[in-house]
Structure 1
Amino acid sequence: MKKTMILGAFALFLLGSCVSKKDYASLEAKQKETQDLLNTATVKLNSCLEEKATASARAKALEEQVADLRKNNDNLTILSAKGASNVEKTLESIKEKELKINRLQDALTQKDSVTLALVTSLKREVGINDPDIEINVEKGVVFISIADKLLFQSGSYNVTTRAKEVLAKVAKVVNSKPDFECMVEGHTDDVPYNKPPLLDNWDLSVKRSTSIIRVLQELNVNPAQLIAAGRSHYVPLVPNDTAENRAKNRRTRIVVLPKIDQFYDMIEKEMKNLEAGGN
């Protein structure tokens, strides 16, 4: 009986041992499967972690780029504002310069208009159709050129009666322009002159100028408007190589022009006004 119980117990033990091995094998297989799944999950997790790190790095780089772009955009905004301000200042400067140029042009136009009116008046007043009398404008200045044969006898500085008729008409125009100056230029040819008390062509050219000025003064021209000038033979119209050319060079020019001081005073006043307005 005792043996039987022992054998039964042993059989039960063996039977129980066999079942445990099967279960163990099954569990071992499941464990392996689970381990494989765990390994696969671990690999995927590590891959995800790497991708996350890469994505984080890219996100950080993108954030830095965005920050740089925002900073650059702010700088561009500042630069654009400064640029716009500079453009406005440049435009204002250009407008000021244009205004200055326009005012100066107006001043010059005014001077040219006065000069043109003077030429017209002189031509109308003198009214002599004579090739020995020329009225023209050179560089904004009015010139009345009169050949010496109408003014003086050869080698003389005494004004002829015919000259006084012409000078009377010139005096009338000059008297109507009290703000103008009248410069009388004497010109000779290059033939040496020496008749006491005059020493040379310089003396002769100046003496002829003062002779005409005295006539104009007798015709009630304000002496303060008159200027005597002699050029001798140093400003010829043509070469002094023929008698005809020497006759052309012997002449008197009456220069009628606005007073230079007044003209430049007008320009200076305009410049000061512009500078005051610019400041």
Structure 2
Amino acid sequence: MWNKIIFRSIVLIIPLWYACVPQKKYNEVNIRNAEMMRSLRTTENKLDSTNNSLETFIKKADKLEEDLEASNRKNEALEAKLERAIATSSSVQQELTAKEQRMMEQQERLDLLQNLLDEQRAVMEGLKTTIDKALVQYRSDELQVFEQDGKLYVSLQDKLLFPSGSATVNKDGKEALSKLAAVINNSPDIQILVEGHTDNVPIRGRFEDNWALSTARATAIVRVLTNSYDVQPERVTAAGRSFYYPKASNETPEGRAKNRRTEIILTPQLNELFQLLR
């Protein structure tokens, strides 16, 4: 705006100079005036160019500022996401640590359980070896010793223990039980279950049925073990199973002979194992 005012002032002054000064001076002034006008236009052009450049710069600056704000917002969002990721990672790490701790504890329990099982297996294997040696004189059709389901079975046929249809232990039976009791008394942690079994032929005589006979025979053996051979009564259980758990078919004499038996089942103490499994 100031440039336009100056230009108009110069235009008004020129006629006055024309009237007051000689021709030569007037020409000189005219030339200078023309030069000034060119310089003024150049200045104006530069100023316009500068203004345009300034406007462009301002627009660029505004755009940069917008971009910077957008970048800041993105950075804030990324920082928030990073914080959430760190929090999640920390939570996951804590959970993994807790799981690892539980797995270690479970592995320790499993190792301890396996050690106990190995110890029990070793005890039962040693017990079987000792019983085999103690009862080596008896034939397989009189007595058998075998392992099953972690337990040790001493299976005695009725002809070794009882007269036919009787629940009174005979001399040979007491001798076999004395040898077995000597081994049992040296293994105080072993529990003893005495099971009586019969064939399916109905019993006649003083017993009501095969249940009564199988139970009476089991009880008779328990009395011999506890009263005659000092096996602790707290360790012993008597049970009669009649003819419902046969070892062989009851359709043949040989099968029925195998089914008339008393099984002394030796079981290791499992209290520690039960504690671990809780």
Q: Shorter-chain TM-score: which interval?
A: 0.7 to 0.9
Structure 1 residue aligned with 2:201:
191
Aligned with residue 150 of structure 1, among 149, 160, 163: 160
Q: For the structure 1 residues 51 and 153, does the alpha-carbon distance in structure 2 shift closer, same or farther, using more than 3 Å as the test?
A: same
Structure-2 separation of matches of 1:226 and 1:19: 146
**Structure 1 segments of 4 or more deviating over 6 A?**
none
Q: CA deviation at 1:76?
A: 4.1
Q: Deviations over 1:4-28 (max 9, x none)?
A: xxxxx97965555555444443333
Q: Which amino acid aligns with 1:94?
A: M
Q: How does 1:56-205 map to 2 (within 5 A)?
A: 56-132=65-141, 133-195=143-205, 197-205=206-214
Q: Which amino acid aligns with 1:42?
A: N
| Structure 2 stretches lacking a partner, 5+ long | 1-17
Structure 1 residue aligned with 2:58:
49
Structure-1 separation of matches of 2:174 and 2:153: 18
Q: Secondary structure at the match of 2:251?
A: coil
Once the two structures are overlaid, the 10-residue window that deviates more, 235-244 or 87-96, is 87-96
Structure 2 residue aligned with 1:275:
none
Q: Secondary structure at the match of 1:43?
A: helix
Structure-2 separation of matches of 1:21 and 1:44: 34
Q: CA deviation at 1:144?
A: 0.2
Q: CA RMSD in A?
A: 2.8
Structure 2 residue aligned with 1:277:
none
Q: Which amino acid aligns with 1:47?
A: T
TM-score (norm 2): 0.80
Q: For the structure 1 residues 68 and 20, does the alpha-carbon distance in structure 2 shift closer, same or farther, using more than 3 Å as the test?
A: same
Q: For the structure 1 residues 88 and 43, does the alpha-carbon distance in structure 2 shift closer, same or farther, using more than 3 Å as the test?
A: same
Structure-2 separation of matches of 1:194 and 1:129: 30
Q: Which amino acid aligns with 1:233?
A: F
Q: CA deviation at 1:70?
A: 4.1
Structure 2 residue aligned with 1:6:
none
State how many pairs are aligned: 259
Structure-1 separation of matches of 2:275 and 2:249: 44
Q: CA deviation at 1:139?
A: 1.6
Q: For the structure 1 residues 254 and 17, does the alpha-carbon distance in structure 2 shift closer, same or farther, using more than 3 Å as the test?
A: same
Q: For the structure 1 residues 187 and 93, does the alpha-carbon distance in structure 2 shift closer, same or farther, using more than 3 Å as the test?
A: same
Q: For the structure 1 residues 10 and 189, does the alpha-carbon distance in structure 2 shift closer, same or farther, using more than 3 Å as the test?
A: closer
Q: Secondary structure at the match of 1:145?
A: strand
Q: For the structure 1 residues 86 and 25, does the alpha-carbon distance in structure 2 shift closer, same or farther, using more than 3 Å as the test?
A: same
Q: CA deviation at 1:61?
A: 2.7
Q: Secondary structure at the match of 2:144?
A: strand
Aligned with residue 223 of structure 1, among 233, 244, 258: 233
Establish whether residue 249 from structure 1 lines up as the match of residue 259 from structure 2.
Answer: yes
Q: CA deviation at 1:74?
A: 4.3
| Structure 1 stretches lacking a partner, 5+ long | 1-8, 273-279
Q: Which amino acid aligns with 2:62?
A: A
Q: For the structure 1 residues 87 and 178, does the alpha-carbon distance in structure 2 shift closer, same or farther, using more than 3 Å as the test?
A: closer
Q: For the structure 1 residues 14 and 224, does the alpha-carbon distance in structure 2 shift closer, same or farther, using more than 3 Å as the test?
A: closer
TM-score (norm 1): 0.80
Q: Secondary structure at the match of 2:166?
A: coil
Structure-2 separation of matches of 1:170 and 1:249: 21
